[in-house]
Structure 1
Amino acid sequence: MDKHNSKFRWVVFTSVLFTYLIMASQRTAPGLITDQLMRDFQVTASTIGLVTSIQFFVYTCLQIPMGILADRYGPNFFLIIGSILTGFGTIMYSLGNHESILFFARMLTGIGDATIWVNLVLILSQWFNAKEFTRLIGVAGMTGSLGFLLATVPFSAMIVLLGWRAAFFSAGCLLCVCGVLLYLILVKKTNQPVIVKTNQHREKFGVLLKRIFSSRQAWGLFLCHFGIVGGYIGFIGSWAVPYGMNIYGLTRLHASQLIMVSLIGALIGAPLIGWISSRLDMIKRPYIVFHIIILLCWFTFLLFQEHPPFFLFVLLFFIIGFGFGSNSLTFALVRLTFPKTESGFVSGFANTGGFLSAVLLPGIFGYLLDHFQSVSGSIAEGYYFGFITPVVFSLVGLIGVIIIKEKNQVVESKPNTQVSL
């Protein structure tokens, strides 16, 4: 089958992205029932926080191993198993009667979730040519944001209608169905084995690891993803609502709407930036522009002493979300500058950078808030110094994207080919 010209590639694209949509929704959905879990299981907020964070910790730790496995055995098997594992984890979460079961269920969900992005990138690179891939990877990024949106009002309504256990049980069953659907489409319909072992010569793992970790290109991708993801997920997902309430006196409901503004920006930005990059037939220059824009947005909070005019504040949130949509260009650069036999490994390495920053930023920001509030008694001063964190992270990202080399073609006949630096 000529995958790049087959109409069936759109069936693959739709099924993979639908699975990603549902899996992404389950990353943040437990946050909707925090108070119910505390009441039902008689546990503290810190316990629930640990249960919630374990999924992201597992996800981050497994990105590089998943990339290596996907390169060596193909992406189909891991995506199928990952969706089923996420489904089983979600079902277990819905049936749990002790916090230890919730903890294990979220670990299982994290293992399954760790398979989705790296293998999605590899599957799309197999079925679409380079120009289509650059455009469609932006649509894939938008799908993740849609998943977060699905985990707000729609899933909340489902919880109110069915109860939280039935709502999560239904989502888990749907993910298991997605796993079966992916098997039928990616394996049965295309007559491919579930696990694909290539006949190409493979480097020893240690040699490959040393070469990638010594590659300026790989570290540039790691840093640019670190800089652009942490500010959006780390701040918007953790401190945006308290910031709106403490600095602008907003209610929790109105402050929560700020996240929607940023999310709308990401929904618009992801496909549009991918389309722009595809039309210009370049990746690095547009990516630099959006890194600069995001850096300036975070610096604006410092410029206005953490309290910009409200209209500007809302606009900054929208632009930060819009710029976040450019993060998919990281993986377009992976495809463009690394051979296919290494693209899973490098994709996982770059994605680790993004989620590492998303893990680090909330903790650093919170520490600065606590420190300056205890010293001066003013939380506003804490927010001012807290905003230095996303500024520094964004600067790191800009340095990363500047040191990246962009070339138009990868020599795929030699798996050991490196980008000339």
Structure 2
Amino acid sequence: MSAEQVHDIGKRRAWLIWSVSLAVYILAVFHRSSLGVAGIIASERFDISATSLATFTVLQLVVYAGMQVPVGVLLDRYGSRTMLLCGLALMTVGQFGFAFAESFAAAVASRAVVGAGDAMVFVSVIRLVTVWFLVRQAPMVTQLTGLSGQLGAIAAAGPLSYLLHELGWTRAFALTSSVGVLLLVAVVVLVKDSPYRRSDVVAIKLRALAQSVRTVWGNPGTRLGMWSHFSSQFSATVFALLWGYPFLVQGLGWTAKGAATLLMAMTAWAVLSGLVLARLVSRLPYYRSWIVVGVVLAMVVPWTAVLLWPGAAPDWVVVVMAFATASGGPASMVGFDLARSFTPPHETGRANGLVNVGGFTASLLTMALIGMVLDLSASGGMDSYTLGDFKLAMAVQYLFWAVGVVQVLRYRRRGLAHLARLHPGSVEQMKAGQPFVHPGIGTEGV
């Protein structure tokens, strides 16, 4: 028997719940991005090298990526509201601890706690979008979620930079951590897991956990979504979260104000390009993975120009490179839309968690390798790195772009064959411009 629907889908209550959960995601992005402008200050505060500086963000993303599968399982079992509350609590505690950290070890531990809380937020919001909005609304709302979340990156690039200058490290980070307390109250009061009287959360027994994850992972659509996320997301994350600001200021000779302005402009461009991508994805569902590949190629070309340019590239070339890089964020959202075509509703938490692993795994590996290359090139700390050192380090991105594109094309073929075999007519439906929504079979992955 189907559950009784007690709230309208895709109407006022849905938008209210989405707005509150979106605010939590914006805060998560803010916390995640805060080292983008605080990196140089952190290197001085804790007297650390580039590799150690990268450890902050890398460990945070290791925790984030490592928790995606267990978070997906818990999300399918306990629902978005509980996971948002847990995520908020962890982020608030972690950022508050980071404000008062005096040692490198304490600061790293605090960022790990922030990463654990952050890991619970985005997939919880996407699950709310899946159950509270109509099928025709979901692709656009998913894109709006990813794009609006970048307001947190804008706040980290601009206002946080101002607060750090005016209030200092401790008071600035303590003040920003307090926002989580207000959102905890909002989630408790306003967010509901489902428009139905009986929620569709799934109680998975521990002994069945391995098999359930294996089923979802065995579905080529999950892997297609993950590799799409892998290849398109990492460059924007690496640039915004850690290495973009030092590359612009220390490497290319930009002013601190100019670098912060470009980071904010990248976010604005991500919003504009995301709206275009959302329309393309909804109109051309058959070509979604090709759209991702096209965005990756659009990033590779200007990055090649910047890295091969003799000396510092002209400002306009750097801006084109930055905007192309920013387009990778919206393109990575396509991975979740791809997974939705292959996954029944009660498995979306696990599928989205696995998809989300992709980009953040690529991001943390790229961040770590950039730091290692910089330290191998010049071991004298941040002040000793030249433009040539930064160019050599940034070139590690090509490895991940190449691997990601090859895997996207590989699993695109497998995914289409999977749909044609199990859901006759689905491929033709997508070629005609109509989205295919999984009918609910949950045991077809392996």
- Shorter-normalised TM-score: what interval? 0.7 to 0.9
Partner of 2:441: 414
From the superposition, tell whether residues 308 and 149 of structure 1 become closer, same or farther in structure 2 (CA, over 3 Å): same
Can you list the C-alpha shifts for 1:228-265, whole angstroms capped at 9, x where unaligned? 12222224544334444566443444344443343332
SS class of match (1:151): helix
From the superposition, tell whether residues 281 and 314 of structure 1 become closer, same or farther in structure 2 (CA, over 3 Å): same
1:278 aligns with 2:282: yes
> What is the one-letter code of the residue matched to 2:404?
G
> What is the one-letter code of the residue matched to 1:45?
I
Give the C-alpha shift of residue 306 in structure 1. Answer: 7.9
State which drifts further: 263-272 or 92-101: 92-101
| Aligned residue among 221, 228, 247 for 2:225 | 221
Residues 221, 338 of structure 2: 8 Å contact kept:
no
TM-score normalized by structure 1? 0.84
Residues 60, 356 of structure 1: 8 Å contact kept:
yes
Q: How do 1:247-262 and structure 2 match up within 5 A?
A: 248-262=252-266
Residues 72, 341 of structure 1: 8 Å contact kept:
no
Q: How do 1:19-418 and structure 2 match up within 5 A?
A: 19-30=24-35, 32=37, 43-46=46-49, 50-51=55-56, 53-96=58-101, 101-160=106-165, 162-187=167-192, 197-198=201-202, 204-245=208-249, 248-280=252-284, 283-301=288-306, 304=309, 308-371=313-376, 382-383=389-390, 385-402=392-409, 403-404=411-412, 405=415, 407=426, 408-418=435-445
From the superposition, tell whether residues 205 and 270 of structure 1 become closer, same or farther in structure 2 (CA, over 3 Å): same
Give the C-alpha shift of residue 380 in structure 1. Answer: 5.6
From the superposition, tell whether residues 350 and 297 of structure 1 become closer, same or farther in structure 2 (CA, over 3 Å): farther
Partner of 1:16: 21
Residues 252, 387 of structure 2: 8 Å contact kept:
no
Can you list the C-alpha shifts for 1:366-419, whole angstroms capped at 9, x where unaligned? 444555669xx9956555554542223223332333333365434444322449
Query: What is the CA–CA distance in structure 2 between the aligned matches of 1:383 and 1:33, rounded to whole Å?
Result: 18
Query: What is the CA–CA distance in structure 2 between the aligned matches of 1:320 and 1:52, rounded to whole Å?
Result: 19
Query: What is the CA–CA distance in structure 1 between the aligned matches of 2:221 and 2:117, rounded to whole Å?
Result: 28
> What is the one-letter code of the residue matched to 2:443?
N
From the superposition, tell whether residues 417 and 102 of structure 1 become closer, same or farther in structure 2 (CA, over 3 Å): same
SS class of match (2:60): helix
Give the C-alpha shift of residue 203 in structure 1. Answer: 8.8
Residues 81, 179 of structure 1: 8 Å contact kept:
no
Can you list the C-alpha shifts for 1:198-243, whole angstroms capped at 9, x where unaligned? 4799992222233334433322222221111222222454433444
Query: What is the CA–CA distance in structure 2 between the aligned matches of 1:174 and 1:75, rounded to whole Å?
Result: 20
From the superposition, tell whether residues 229 and 100 of structure 1 become closer, same or farther in structure 2 (CA, over 3 Å): same
SS class of match (2:34): helix
Query: What is the CA–CA distance in structure 1 between the aligned matches of 2:289 and 2:279, rounded to whole Å?
Result: 14
SS class of match (2:295): helix
Partner of 1:4: 9
Residues 84, 112 of structure 1: 8 Å contact kept:
yes
The runs of 5 or more residues in structure 1 that have no matched partner are: none
Give the C-alpha shift of residue 97 in structure 1. Answer: 6.0
Query: What is the CA–CA distance in structure 2 between the aligned matches of 1:9 and 1:128, rounded to whole Å?
Result: 7
Query: What is the CA–CA distance in structure 2 between the aligned matches of 1:60 and 1:201, rounded to whole Å?
Result: 23
Query: What is the CA–CA distance in structure 1 between the aligned matches of 2:353 and 2:273, rounded to whole Å?
Result: 23
Can you list the C-alpha shifts for 1:260-294, whole angstroms capped at 9, x where unaligned? 34333223222332233224455334333323322
Residues 287, 329 of structure 1: 8 Å contact kept:
yes
From the superposition, tell whether residues 323 and 5 of structure 1 become closer, same or farther in structure 2 (CA, over 3 Å): closer
Give the C-alpha shift of residue 115 in structure 1. Answer: 0.3
Query: What is the CA–CA distance in structure 2 between the aligned matches of 1:164 and 1:380, rounded to whole Å?
Result: 28
From the superposition, tell whether residues 147 and 72 of structure 1 become closer, same or farther in structure 2 (CA, over 3 Å): same
SS class of match (1:45): coil
Residues 64, 119 of structure 2: 8 Å contact kept:
yes
Query: What is the CA–CA distance in structure 1 between the aligned matches of 2:388 and 2:165, rounded to whole Å?
Result: 39
Query: What is the CA–CA distance in structure 1 between the aligned matches of 2:347 and 2:140, rounded to whole Å?
Result: 21
Query: What is the CA–CA distance in structure 1 between the aligned matches of 2:437 and 2:196, rounded to whole Å?
Result: 28
Give the C-alpha shift of residue 126 in structure 1. Answer: 0.8
The runs of 5 or more residues in structure 2 that have no matched partner are: 1-5, 417-425, 427-434
Query: What is the CA–CA distance in structure 1 between the aligned matches of 2:80 and 2:208, rounded to whole Å?
Result: 20
Give the C-alpha shift of residue 18 in structure 1. Answer: 1.1
Query: What is the CA–CA distance in structure 1 between the aligned matches of 2:264 and 2:13, rounded to whole Å?
Result: 35
Query: What is the CA–CA distance in structure 2 between the aligned matches of 1:337 and 1:31, rounded to whole Å?
Result: 36
Query: What is the CA–CA distance in structure 1 between the aligned matches of 2:171 and 2:392, rounded to whole Å?
Result: 43
> What is the one-letter code of the residue matched to 1:89?
G
State which drifts further: 395-404 or 46-55: 46-55
From the superposition, tell whether residues 148 and 247 of structure 1 become closer, same or farther in structure 2 (CA, over 3 Å): closer
RMSD: 3.5
Query: What is the CA–CA distance in structure 1 between the aligned matches of 2:86 and 2:348, rounded to whole Å?
Result: 20
Q: How many residues align?
A: 414
> What is the one-letter code of the residue matched to 1:44?
D
Query: What is the CA–CA distance in structure 1 between the aligned matches of 2:374 and 2:323, rounded to whole Å?
Result: 24
Identity of aligned residues (%): 21
